[in-house]
Amino acid sequence: MTRIVGIDYGKRRVGFATSDELDRLAIPHATVEVQDLDDAVAVSCRVAREKTAARFVVGLPLNMDGSRGDMAKEVEEFVRRLGERSGLPVNVWDERLSSGLVDRMLVDADVSRNRRKQVRDKLAAQVILQGYLDSKCHETLESNR
């Protein structure tokens, strides 16, 4: 059974989440420290192999007005290289506010600052992937009407 791997890309840390067998639920997987973009691509390919992934969904950090800043351009380069190296399809998903949402949830749950740093990126990847999965489920429901 193949899965979808959700990615929250960062210059120093990359968060990963994977879908369940039915592609309905995103499950946080790991946060990995990386050296650079090429290292992030290599780690992402390894996670995809381990999880028998069929595709990736990568969070695209758009500005609030929808424009692309420097980080969005770096993510687009990551997406390009990831697609070339893995041979898998790579979708992007608007990740605006996902990290803020995760931070608020962790603060509300009284999670320590150190622990928040350890889990923030994989939870952000979960939020990104869940948004993508929910949109696909909604599309399926709409097409069946």
Question: How many other β-carbons are positioned within 10 Å of the β-carbon of residue 77?
Answer: 13
pLDDT of 117: 75
Are 121 and 127 spatial neighbours (Cβ–Cβ below 8 Å)?
no
Confidence bin at 143 (pLDDT 50/70/90): low
Cα dihedral sign, 92-70-45-116: negative
Give the phi and the psi of residue 88 in degrees, each rounded to 5.
Answer: -100, 155
| C-alpha closest to that of 46 among 29, 22, 62 | 29
**What domains are defined for the chain?**
3-143 (3.30.420.140)
Which pLDDT does position 145 carry in this prediction? 53
Q: Please, are residues 98 and 8 in contact by the beta-carbon 8 Å criterion? A: yes
The answer for residues whose C-beta is within 8 angstroms of residue 99's C-beta and 6 or more apart is 8, 120, 124
For the entire predicted model, the pTM comes to 0.88
The DSSP call for residue 110 is T
What integer pLDDT is reported at residue 116 of this predicted model? 76
Cα angle 131, 134, 136; round to 5: 110
In tens, the pLDDT along 90-142 reads 999 998 777 777 778 877 787 787 777 778 899 999 999 999 999 987 555 45
Q: What is the mean pLDDT of residues 26-40?
A: 97
In sequence order, what E strands does 20-52 have?
26-33
57 has a pLDDT exceeding 90: yes
- 53 or 63: which leads in pLDDT: 53
- pLDDT score at 119: 81
Q: What is the pLDDT of residues 65-96, one digit of tens each?
A: 888 889 999 999 999 999 999 999 999 999 87
Q: Would you state the pLDDT for residue 140?
A: 53
CA distance 94 to 31: 20
